[in-house]
Amino acid sequence: MTKTEMLKAIESAEAVHLEQMHKIIAAISGEKVENPTALGKMECECGVWFYSNEEMMKKILSPQLFERLDKAHEKWHQEYVYIHDMFFKEEKKEGFLSKIIKRRVSKELYDKAKYYYKELQLATDELLNASLSAKRRIMALPDAKFEELEA
């Protein structure tokens, strides 16, 4: 993996998690959301890439920065479980009409979701900060370091 590819992959992972935050806002507003993020940190788009490149990531970022990213990503998914259970867990039981009708969110569910969303936003900020540190580290390294690891 080249330096450019690694940077693009990290930016893509950030975008996936930010997109999911937008989907959560839509779900809280009562909109139908397609393809919610997977519950497990290793099953989401970000996790599939991140953990399949774990050894190279540790060598490029350092084990400490890799662990920081891993813990931030894991925390995001731990916080996401609450929102997922509230809005996405029942999707398999819904029929055709539920796909076209906007669902009504009760005041109680809305208030609870707002709380969990705030917690998830904190986890997102933590993940993005760790990601920024990773991008800075990658940009500071010479291209030769990536070529050396690919060989």
User: Percentages helix, strand, coil for the chain, rounded to the nearest 5?
Assistant: 80, 0, 20
Contact 104, 28 (CB under 8 A): no
10 is in which domain, residue-wise? 3-150
Global pTM?
A: 0.84
Q: What type of residue sits at position 7?
A: L
Q: Which residue has the higher pLDDT, 115 or 151?
A: 115
Average of per-residue pLDDT values in the chain: 88
For residue 141 the two structure tokens come to 């390294």
Q: What is the tens place of the pLDDT at every residue in 70-97? A: 999 999 999 999 999 988 886 445 554 4
Q: What is the tens place of the pLDDT at every residue in 20-54? A: 999 999 998 888 888 888 899 999 888 898 899 89
Domain count, the chain: 1
